[in-house]
Structure 1
């Protein structure tokens, strides 16, 4: 059973080797003015999400990025700078580029501080979309750290709208490493409930909690990151640099023995996976568990690309003179 609110492998499509899909993404990005190293980095991030079946933040983002890069809304060659750095805390300016470039610098700073101080935190601003928030927490988890990442876009409260409209899709991700079990990777948007007056009256506490969580996300990665500064808004800037992020990590070893922690975490996760699944599902998984399994399978057999996704990429590729070469994989059709 597939819920419309999240990513799933497609029911119909073809299997594309991961190296081939990476080549398609890289050739499409080569049609922009991005630096080669930045295009390579973005290819890695989008390809990793395709491999996890997180298509919404994988290759499906390419049209959005290419159009904004080509139209001059996003700086293709940003001069990303650390503008503040004190102890375990830092702040990064993305110079109007894609948020990936700012978060690459910011997360490197966070991990460096975490190795040195046991924790690190960084805000980023003056940039466009950061991609999947879970991509940044996974970097911490891979080093045995707990990671947290949030992102927000410029969003001023409208006095003509009900406060229940304030929660939006600004994401939060929290990641915990594990041992032999899948790591826990929460990656979700802050808007969790539909605006329906009957539901608000029926379960107001749920709406109060959703308002609180989304507001915290927007304050951490928006207000605290400084995305509302006048210099970052048109006409003072020509870039669509309307987003910010908050990145942080904690070293598990500063709290308890790492082997003891992973043993306890594995015991907890394994126990949860042995519980009864949600109705309509064939197994119980904690956040990140399904993506962990899909990535392992897809890196071996190929990425399952649905017919709609393939068509979208082929149309985009034709517009910029790039070949996708998906026809050769029709023999893998499912």
Structure 2
């Protein structure tokens, strides 16, 4: 994680994961979320915080979710149902529920179908934000499968050469198991910077980096500056000269695969609901699992043993740094900004809930 997004050590409040899990679970339960859904939602959010994906953890997301419960845009107790069912595919109606709770259930369906068909895809329509895409993709790992998850994000991204937001942030995650190495877990939006990371920048008082955003008229911002009030997010690649058409095209592709295919529509037409896409590959349907693991370990080692460029200590592969962060945070606790801790204390007091944060 870039230093711009980190809470400075001198002000960070360290909280054990189990303590924050209890706090978040109490809050979700107070709003009428069923016990199984509370478990799913808490697991998704704390997966992000445990692994340093702070943009999609409790700091940014809990205020947003509670606002949705209060204004009725999020259904805390949805009745998810399968509306189309085929041997290797399904469509589910999320009934306005959070993707945090719908996503794991959709992945369960996809995993079971992939046991029999080798590959399976489930799309979910009419749902809410689903947290970190990596969480859903990695649910396939214990089953010796490769998971893919993508979602239609907020409409904040300007198409290449555009002066209006027309496509979503649209993250995609790919999780692939290994043997002895930490699994490969890639998770990234198709924008130059994730929308939730802009919130982290504002909280930390940090500047945006060149190529992340554009002026309101679509002119790319190519210097460091504070986050302006009005801006557009640039697609991955920032400008045509360095490949923004690639990020724009991938974002539009996810609009199609997760939005149009699920019936929720692209980010351009998104209201309160969103579409999600989940695909699972059963490795044993393609090759011997043991041989795959051996080759995967060798491949990942070759990546991380790459000679580093001047000014860099080492080369990483997707998921390795998060794996290391999780080990450190399990030992020392999750670092939260004091403003976040204050918000939780106010919220639990308002709801008449115990303060587990001490």
State if a TM-score over 0.5 links the two structures. yes
SS at match of 1:246: strand
CA distance in 1 between counterparts of 2:16 and 2:185 reads: 25
CA distance in 1 between counterparts of 2:319 and 2:106 reads: 23
Name the CA shift for 1:26/1:162 in 2 (closer, same or farther; >3 Å).
same
Count the aligned residue pairs. Answer: 316
Query: What residue is the counterpart of 1:237 in the other structure?
Result: none
- Do structure 1's residue 210 and structure 2's residue 247 form an aligned pair? yes
Query: What residue is the counterpart of 1:33 in the other structure?
Result: 32
CA distance in 2 between counterparts of 1:306 and 1:278 reads: 33
**Mapping of residues 1-16 of structure 1, within 5 Å:** 2-4=2-4, 8=6, 10-12=8-10, 13-16=12-15
Name the CA shift for 1:218/1:87 in 2 (closer, same or farther; >3 Å).
same
Query: What residue is the counterpart of 1:173 in the other structure?
Result: 173
CA distance in 1 between counterparts of 2:311 and 2:170 reads: 28
CA distance in 2 between counterparts of 1:286 and 1:201 reads: 23
Query: What residue is the counterpart of 1:311 in the other structure?
Result: 342
Name the CA shift for 1:150/1:288 in 2 (closer, same or farther; >3 Å).
same
Structure 2: gaps spanning 5 or more residues: 193-211, 223-236
- Cα deviation per residue 1:180-207 (whole Å; 9 max; x = unaligned)? 1111111111112544459899743601
CA distance in 1 between counterparts of 2:95 and 2:272 reads: 8
Q: 2:261 aligns with which of 215, 224, 229?
A: 224
Flag the structure with more relative contact order, 1 or 2, with Cα contacts below 8 A and sequence separation at least 6: 1
> Contact between 1:154 and 1:227, CA under 8 Å: does it hold in 2?
no
SS at match of 2:143: coil
Query: What residue is the counterpart of 1:126 in the other structure?
Result: 126
Name the CA shift for 1:34/1:325 in 2 (closer, same or farther; >3 Å).
closer
Q: 2:322 aligns with which of 284, 291, 301?
A: 291
Residue 293 of structure 1, CA deviation:
1.4
CA distance in 1 between counterparts of 2:105 and 2:239 reads: 45
CA distance in 1 between counterparts of 2:329 and 2:158 reads: 44
Name the CA shift for 1:308/1:115 in 2 (closer, same or farther; >3 Å).
same
Query: What residue is the counterpart of 1:143 in the other structure?
Result: 143
CA distance in 2 between counterparts of 1:201 and 1:297 reads: 33
Query: What residue is the counterpart of 1:106 in the other structure?
Result: 106
Name the CA shift for 1:202/1:108 in 2 (closer, same or farther; >3 Å).
closer
Query: What residue is the counterpart of 1:51 in the other structure?
Result: 50
SS at match of 1:191: coil
Residue 24 of structure 1, CA deviation:
1.1
Residue 91 of structure 1, CA deviation:
0.5
Structure 1: gaps spanning 5 or more residues: 234-239, 328-334
CA distance in 2 between counterparts of 1:157 and 1:304 reads: 30
> Contact between 2:152 and 2:274, CA under 8 Å: does it hold in 1?
yes
CA distance in 1 between counterparts of 2:165 and 2:43 reads: 35
Residue 313 of structure 1, CA deviation:
2.5
Residue 176 of structure 1, CA deviation:
1.3
> Contact between 1:314 and 1:323, CA under 8 Å: does it hold in 2?
no
CA distance in 2 between counterparts of 1:278 and 1:63 reads: 41
SS at match of 2:45: helix
TM-score (norm 2): 0.79
- Cα deviation per residue 1:1-58 (whole Å; 9 max; x = unaligned)? 8254xx6575342332222121111122122122222122211221222111222212
> Contact between 1:167 and 1:191, CA under 8 Å: does it hold in 2?
no
Name the CA shift for 1:112/1:278 in 2 (closer, same or farther; >3 Å).
farther
TM-score (norm 1): 0.84
